[in-house]
């Protein structure tokens, strides 16, 4: 009996949030969201761009294996050939058509990746693995068409 009276008394003494306190919480959440959403978008764009560069490096490495097995092939090898002959499981974002790797060492990739980051294009024009890895541009900064290693 004493417990019931105590519980009822505690319930009567509890107070909820006032409208001002509730509005303050909503404003704080809105500010946090306004800061976090653009930052998350930049992280996603940077990751997509780094993924395209990683795909390019994988294609060049697959071409290294191809030319080790086919030393008499004198022309550039296409990404389609690398895929067809199982030197590459997937090219990722690197297009199968109109993308190739030269035989000369260091091997270079020529490819144009449409919609690599948002609706922007990334170009590789005779780029080596080192040139691709040295590129420090962020995916969130890319506008229109970006050529790897291009200076602004």
Report pLDDT for 48: 94
Residues in the chain: 152
Report pLDDT for 18: 84
Report pLDDT for 61: 97
Say which range, 5-9, 73-77, 78-82, 113-117, has the weakest mean pLDDT.
5-9
Sheet of 120-127: strands edge to edge? 77-78, 100-101, 109-117, 120-127, 145-147
Report pLDDT for 109: 97
Strand partners of residue 145: 121
Give the position of tokens 């080192």. 130
Return the structure tokens found at 19.
Answer: 């409208």
Residue 108 and residue 59: Cα distance in Å, rounded?
Answer: 10
The 3-state DSSP class for residue 63 equals helix
Domain range summary for the chain, segments of one domain joined by +: 2-147
Q: Output phi, psi for 120, to 5 deg.
A: -95, 155
Say which range, 12-16, 28-32, 33-37, 121-125, has the weakest mean pLDDT.
12-16
Instruction: Give pTM, 2 decimals.
Output: 0.78
H-helix segments, 70-117 = 79-84
């Amino acid at each position: 009996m004493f417990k019931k009276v105590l519980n009822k008394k505690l319930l009567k003494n509890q107070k909820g949030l006032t409208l001002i306190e509730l509005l303050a919480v909503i404003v704080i959440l809105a500010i946090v969201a306004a800061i976090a959403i653009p930052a998350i978008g930049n992280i996603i764009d940077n990751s997509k761009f780094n993924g395209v560069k990683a795909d390019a490096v994988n294609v060049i490495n697959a071409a290294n294996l191809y030319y080790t097995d086919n030393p008499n092939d004198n022309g550039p090898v296409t990404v389609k050939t690398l895929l067809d002959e199982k030197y590459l499981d997937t090219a990722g974002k690197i297009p199968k058509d109109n993308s190739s790797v030269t035989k000369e060492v260091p091997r270079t990739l020529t490819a144009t990746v449409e919609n690599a980051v948002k609706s922007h294009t990334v170009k590789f024009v005779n780029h080596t693995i080192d040139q691709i890895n040295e590129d420090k541009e962020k995916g969130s900064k890319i506008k229109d068409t970006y050529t790897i290693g291009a200076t602004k």
